[in-house]
Amino acid sequence: MVTNIIQIGNSKGIILPSEVLKQLRLSLKSAVSISLDGNNIVIKAQPRQGWAEAAKRAHENGDDEL
């Protein structure tokens, strides 16, 4: 996949195709981490903070049963 760097206000950015966003379950304002790996830019979806602990508490309280 090839895309171009574009101007966004005073910053620069890239357009992520909707297929990529769907596959990663990302939407507008989703948190991601950006890092460099050699000459590569790596963008990773960040899990929502606190959800794992909330799910654990719900299970312990029996709130996850139908």
Just give the CATH number of 5-60.
2.10.260.10
> pLDDT: is 50 or 12 the higher one?
12
> What's the pTM value of the predicted model, to 2 decimals?
0.57
Q: Where are the domains of the chain?
A: 5-60
Q: Is the pLDDT of residue 36 over 90?
A: yes
Instruction: In whole angstroms, give the CA distance from residue 17 to residue 22.
Output: 9
Beta strands in 1-66 (DSSP E): 5-8, 11-14, 32-37, 40-45
pLDDT classification of 14: cutoffs 50, 70, 90 = very high
User: Residue 28 carries which side chain, given as an amino acid letter?
Assistant: L
For residue 41, the model assigns a pLDDT of 94
pLDDT confidence band for 64 (50 / 70 / 90)? confident
